[in-house]
């Protein structure tokens, strides 16, 4: 009998093959105290486990390195770097020294501390970084328990669909190396490194398919639809025939999209559209370059602070931004100044001071930076210095009024003068822009546009603040809709302000990466998109098959509607008609 299991589709495509249930039970971690005299020995045992975990990852990396692009191997490098991170080592060692914990429990306490930091973040990408913490901790714990690193027999994996509780990036790469057809995990989210990796290597994948291991046995025939997040166990003949046809069609579409790599984004009536990527760290540029030779429209610098669990000094920031700039090889880099506060915080500062009643409305982003200029100035100095080496722009988040902007500009000018006085090479004409992500800023977009070199619309926060809701609150998340008329009006106001002032306006929120909204945004006059790397080709395909003149008249009529439901219905119909037109 067929069983249908739903999960979260994270990598599109159809896979058909026999199941391989991949079981790795994690031993329970027990707490016990050790004598002070044994502290040194316990610390050495922990360090030995770190070394063994690093050795295992390097062995996996070396085994698959011959036929794996560097940008893919970077996912393993991330875990290798985490093994060297003081947040893991020193924090765990401190737990052994201060509380006489055994190494396993000391590491467990430290991992819970780190996971809590990420769990409290609103940003979906940053929140899923806890998966990497858990993956690394699990490997270290296995090394402490001296549990062998289980690797299935490669001959049993070719063409199979892996069913697992979870997979690390190293697991995924090893399994892909053995030519699996796809994978399904019971846990994980759409923005985890494993999910992102599955897209980059082109394996159909589903995460969050709860209880899959209980419902499926090794050897059973499976179909997975990575686009719909659907798993079918023991399909009948009609289902197999249907999905084989879909698989053939999907392969043809991927072939079509791959032909768009490094091709300009130009509408059918000749309008060039700029597509840039979003990154969180310099290593993300490798994935971006795999899809297109383009620049970065949003570099979220707070990840450097969060991962280090400290405010890095000027030199550390300068070297990091320089690494990103050089990897772009002449393409522009837009660096957003740090957006800490609310959901994104450095652990050591969380418990200082009274708890904010509403963190999202409190001391965050530029407000936080201007209150603590001694911490902000090193970042300004680093950005000004790296801008002397290539095409760099600075972007200020969460501005709400012109007075605030003038204060920031004054601080930037003072920082410039100090660097010039020190005879440090800088870009004196560094372009400065603002994130438009609160309604007050959108309504004042004309004034901001007259004072700045560019604007960038951050739809994630703009939608949240306009609709007065928390998008990760399950009770009200259904209200979070980019097509709300008020949100669209604010976006249109900002785009119009940029055109009036003659400066570029980009859109860098999740809305830009969703192909469902590409035609809408084009019709509204958006000419600069900053999106996730894996959405580049799909968005480019839509742009290259769109007539801008025709879209503008249609979108203008849609924007006159007052109902979110009506707008959504009209956009869906427009997308369907346009897709059918260019598919024929």
CB-based contacts of 473: which residues, under 8 Å, 6+ apart?
Answer: none
Neighbouring C-beta atoms of residue 440, cutoff 10 Å: 11
**Ordered alpha helix ranges (H), 332-372:** 347-350, 365-371
Angle between helices 130-144 and 39-64 (to 10 degrees): 110
Residue 140: strand, helix, or coil = helix
Task: Give the separation between CA 563 and CA 109, rounded to whole angstroms.
Answer: 49
Is residue 529 classed exposed, middle or buried when 0-12, 13-18 and 19+ CB atoms within 10 A define those classes? buried
Task: Give the separation between CA 79 and CA 76, rounded to whole angstroms.
Answer: 5
CA distances from 239 to 41, 216, 234, 345 (A): 59, 18, 10, 48
What is the separation of C-alpha 419 from the centre of its chain, rounded to a whole number of angstroms? 34
Task: Give the separation between CA 47 and CA 345, rounded to whole angstroms.
Answer: 28
Q: What is the DSSP secondary structure assignment for residue 357, as one 8-state letter?
A: S
- The sign of the torsion formed by the CA atoms of 139, 141, 143, 146 equals negative
Task: Give the separation between CA 577 and CA 580, rounded to whole angstroms.
Answer: 5
Which two three-digit tokens encode residue 219? 């050897």
Give phi and psi for 436, each to the nearest 5: -100, 100
Active site residues: 193, 508
Nearest to 516 by CA among 464, 567, 480, 444: 567
Task: Give the separation between CA 86 and CA 50, rounded to whole angstroms.
Answer: 12
Task: Give the separation between CA 518 and CA 542, rounded to whole angstroms.
Answer: 7
Task: Give the separation between CA 161 and CA 220, rounded to whole angstroms.
Answer: 10
CA distances from 424 to 320, 323, 337 (A): 18, 19, 21
Nearest to 464 by CA among 476, 480, 478, 475: 480
Task: Give the separation between CA 238 and CA 220, rounded to whole angstroms.
Answer: 17
β-pair partners for 21: 163
- DSSP-assigned states of every residue in 452-511: -SEEEE-HHHHHHHHHT--TT-TTTGGG--TT-HHHHHHHHHHHHHHHHHT--EEE-SHH
Task: Give the separation between CA 456 and CA 445, rounded to whole angstroms.
Answer: 11
**Ordered alpha helix ranges (H), 85-129:** 86-99, 103-119, 124-127
Task: Give the separation between CA 322 and CA 309, rounded to whole angstroms.
Answer: 21
Q: What is the DSSP secondary structure assignment for residue 398, as one 8-state letter?
A: S
């Amino acid at each position: 009998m067929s069983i249908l299991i739903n999960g979260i589709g994270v990598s599109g495509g159809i896979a058909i093959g026999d199941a391989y249930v991949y079981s790795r039970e994690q031993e329970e971690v027990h707490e016990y105290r050790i004598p002070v005299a044994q502290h040194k020995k316990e610390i050495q045992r922990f360090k030995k486990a770190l070394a063994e975990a690093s050795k295992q990852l390097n062995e996996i990396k070396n085994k698959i390195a011959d036929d794996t692009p560097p940008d893919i191997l970077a996912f393993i490098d991330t875990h290798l770097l985490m093994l060297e991170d003081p947040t893991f080592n020193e924090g765990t060692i401190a737990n052994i020294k201060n509380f006489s914990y055994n190494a396993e429990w000391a590491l467990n306490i430290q991992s819970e501390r780190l996971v809590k930091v990420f769990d409290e973040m609103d940003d979906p990408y940053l929140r899923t970084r806890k998966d990497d913490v858990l993956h690394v901790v699990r490997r270290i714990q296995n090394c402490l328990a001296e549990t062998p690193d289980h690797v299935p027999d490669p001959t049993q994996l070719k063409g199979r669909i892996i069913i697992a509780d979870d997979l690390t990036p190293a697991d995924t790469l090893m399994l892909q190396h053995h030519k699996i057809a796809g994978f399904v995990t019971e846990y994980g989210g759409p923005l985890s490194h494993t999910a992102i990796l599955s897209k980059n290597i082109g394996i159909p994948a589903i995460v969050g398919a709860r209880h899959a291991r209980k419902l499926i046995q090794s050897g059973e025939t499976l179909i997975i639809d990575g686009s719909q997040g659907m798993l079918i166990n023991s399909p009948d003949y009609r289902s197999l025939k249907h999905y084989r046809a879909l698989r053939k069609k999907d392969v043809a579409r991927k072939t079509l999209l791959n032909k768009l790599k490094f091709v300009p984004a130009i509408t059918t009536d000749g309008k060039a559209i700029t597509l840039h990527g979003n990154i969180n760290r310099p290593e993300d540029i490798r994935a971006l370059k795999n899809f297109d030779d383009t620049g970065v429209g949003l570099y979220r610098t707070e990840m450097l602070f969060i991962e280090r669990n400290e405010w890095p000094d000027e030199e550390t920031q300068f070297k990091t931004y320089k690494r990103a700039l050089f990897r772009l090889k002449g393409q522009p880099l837009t660096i957003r100044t740090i957006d800490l506060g609310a959901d994104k915080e450095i652990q050591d500062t969380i418990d200082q001071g009274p708890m904010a009643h509403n963190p999202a409305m409190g001391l965050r982003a530029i407000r936080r930076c201007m209150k603590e200029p001694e911490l902000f100035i090193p970042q300004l100095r680093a950005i000004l210095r790296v801008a002397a080496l290539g095409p760099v722009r600075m972007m200020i988040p969460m501005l709400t009024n012109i007075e605030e902007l003038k204060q920031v500009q004054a601080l930037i000018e003072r920082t410039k003068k100090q660097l010039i006085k020190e005879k440090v090479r800088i870009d004196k004409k560094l372009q400065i822009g603002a994130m438009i992500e609160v309604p007050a800023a959108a309504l004042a977009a004309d004034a901001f546009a007259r004072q700045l070199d560019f604007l960038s619309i951050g739809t994630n926060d703009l939608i949240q603040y306009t609709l007065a809701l928390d998008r990760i609150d399950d009770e009200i998340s259904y209200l979070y809709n980019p097509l709300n008329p008020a949100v669209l009006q604010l976006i249109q106001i900002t785009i119009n302000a940029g055109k009036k002032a003659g400066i570029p306006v980009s859109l860098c929120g999740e809305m830009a990466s969703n192909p469902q909204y590409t035609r809408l945004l084009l019709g509204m006059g958006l000419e600069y998109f900053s999106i996730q790397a894996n959405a580049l080709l799909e968005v480019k395909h839509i742009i290259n098959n769109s007539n801008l003149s025709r879209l503008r008249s249609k979108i203008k009529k849609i924007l006159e509607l007052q109902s979110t439901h009506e707008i959504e219905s009209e956009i869906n119909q427009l997308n369907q008609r346009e897709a059918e037109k260019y598919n024929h």
